[in-house]
Homo-oligomer: A and B are copies of this chain.
Amino acid sequence: VSRRAADATTASSRSRSSASRRTASADEARPRRTRAKRGQGDQLREQILDATYELLVETGDADRVSTRAVARRVGCSSPALYLHFPDRASLLWAACNRQFVKLGDVVRLAVEGIDDPIDALQAAGRAYITFGVEHAEEYRVMMMTPETVVWNPPIEDLPGEAGFDVLHQLIERAMADGALRDDDPSLVALSVWAAVHGIVALRIAKPSFDWPPLEDDIDRMIRLVTGGLAGSTGSS
Q: Chain B nearest CB: distance from A8 CB in Å?
A: 3
Cβ–Cβ < 8 Å partners of A226 in chain B: 228, 234-236
Distance in Å from the Cβ of A142 to the closest Cβ of chain B?
Answer: 9
In the complex, are the beta carbons of B191 and A202 less than 8 A apart?
no
The interface on chain A, measured as residues whose beta carbon lies within 8 A of the other chain's beta carbons, has a size of: 85
A61-B77 Cα distance, complex, nearest whole Å: 30
A215 to chain B, nearest CB (A): 12
Q: Taking A202-B197, A224-B191 as contacts, is the C-beta distance between A5 and B217 under 8 angstroms?
A: no
* Pairwise interchain contact B223-A233, C-beta atoms closer than 8 A: yes
Mark each residue of chain A from 198 to 228: 1 if its CB lies under 8 Å from any CB of chain B, else 0.
1101101111111110001100111111111
CB-defined contacts of A221 to chain B, threshold 8 Å: 191, 194-195
Copies per assembly: 2
- Whether A4 contacts B149 in the complex (CB less than 8 A), given A194-B202, A198-B198, A198-B201, comes out as no
Whether A146 contacts B205 by the Cβ 8 Å rule is: yes
Cα–Cα distance between A13 and B231 once the two chains are bound (Å): 47
Stretch among A25-33, A85-93, A96-104 lining the B interface: A85-93
Closest Cβ of chain B: how far from A31's Cβ, in Å? 25
- 5 closest cross-chain pairs (CB), A and B: A228-B228, A198-B198, A8-B86, A227-B234, A231-B231
